[in-house]
Amino acid sequence: MLKIENLQASIGEKQILKGINLEVKPGEVHAIMGPNGSGKSTLASVLAGREDYDVTGGSVLFEGKDLLELAPEERAAEGIFLAFQYPVEIPGVSTTNFLKTALNEIRKYQGQEPLDAVSFLKRMKEKMKLVNIDQSLLSRSLNEGFSGGEKKRNEVFQMAMLEPKLGILDETDSGLDIDALRIVAEGVNTLRDGERSFIVVTHYQRLLDYIVPDFVHVLYKGRIVKSGTKELALELEEKGYDWIKAEVDALV
């Protein structure tokens, strides 16, 4: 589904991604861990198409298409969804209105008719239940004045509404209390249908207790320096990153 080869990206003069290789197959969940500043959000942003970054090398194929050639909205329409680490507040645009526009733009791209009001509301109701989000929140301006947890829950709600093929969750667990974490994780698990894939960026094992990953990768200084299965996350939880850092830094 997603094939990243030797991906390099920089911002200004500063190189941040220094050759990422990663393959995600349908239905898989990949966890990406790693110390602060290692490039996790940068990777997520580059995949979503943020223009601030210059891709200086490598390739990304998504279902056989050259992802890097596509505008962010085209990537979304192709089925990529990024749950932001820091969701943006947008005054004056309600979540409901925004999602209706987004959904219908995606449908248009896919050659489908816009969703009628009844079906849209039905889908809203269904997905609201999934992440236990309140109607009153959705009629307010998008993310404006939302608590940290509400913003994250809204991201997962949006993902549920847009039903992407690949969901990228950038620290969606941080800022969530334990109940919210469980709800969000269950929401994601419901969306796991054997076809849909996820990349989950997190610092915490507690999320991976709920969303059990197929693979765990450690990103450090712009490279994936270690990959393993869910046991790797447990090991990191126990020992921290120092041993990996030492291994890598010894090589340079």
Partner 1 sequence: MTTPIDFKAQLIAEFQLNETRLNGESRSSLHQRRRLALSRFEQLGFPTIRHEEWKYSNVKNLVSQEFNITPSAEISHDHLTSLEIPNLAGNILYFINGQYQPQLSTIVSPADEVEILTFAEGYKKYPALVEEHFAKYADDSNDAFTALNTAFAQYGAFIHVTKGKVVEAPIILRFISDARTENVAVQLRNLIIVEERASLKVAESFRTLGEFASFTNTVTEAFLGKEANYDHYKVQDESEKAFHIGTTQVHHNDKALSYDTTVTLNGGWVRNNLNLVMGGEYVEAHLTGLYLPNGKQHIDNHTLVDHAMPNSYSNELYKGIMFDKSTGVFNGKIFVREDAQKTNAYQSCKNVLASPDATMNTKPQLEIYADDVKCSHGTTTGQMDEEALFYLQSRGIPKDKGRALLMLAFAEDVVEKIKIPAIREYLESAIAKKVGEV
Ligand X SMILES: Nc1ncnc2c1ncn2[C@@H]1O[C@H](COP(=O)(O)OP(=O)(O)OP(=O)(O)O)[C@@H](O)[C@H]1O
- Binding-site ranges for partner 1 (CB under 8 A): 48-51, 71-73, 75-77, 81-82, 84, 87-93, 98-99, 101-103, 105-106, 109, 141, 158, 162
Q: Based on CB atoms, which residue is closest to ligand X, 37 or 145?
A: 37
Give me the least distance between CB of 46 and partner 1, in Å please.
Answer: 12
Nearest alpha-carbon partner for 178 in 201, 198, 207: 207
Q: Based on CB atoms, which residue is closest to partner 1, 162 or 211?
A: 162
Q: Based on CB atoms, which residue is closest to partner 1, 60 or 208?
A: 60
Q: Based on CB atoms, which residue is closest to partner 1, 9 or 232?
A: 9
Q: Based on CB atoms, which residue is closest to ligand X, 75 or 221?
A: 221
Give me the least distance between CB of 222 and ligand X, in Å please.
Answer: 8
**Which of partner 1, Mg ion, ligand X, none lies near 226, with the C-beta cut-off 5 to 8 A by kind?**
none
Contacts with ligand X, residue ranges (CB under 6 A): 11, 14, 16, 34, 36-42, 52, 85
C-alpha dihedral (235, 169, 118, 137), degrees to nearest 10 = 100
**Which of Mg ion, partner 1, ligand X, none lies near 9, with the C-beta cut-off 5 to 8 A by kind?**
none
Contacts with Mg ion, residue ranges (CB under 5 A): 40-41, 85
Give me the least distance between CB of 106 and partner 1, in Å please.
Answer: 4
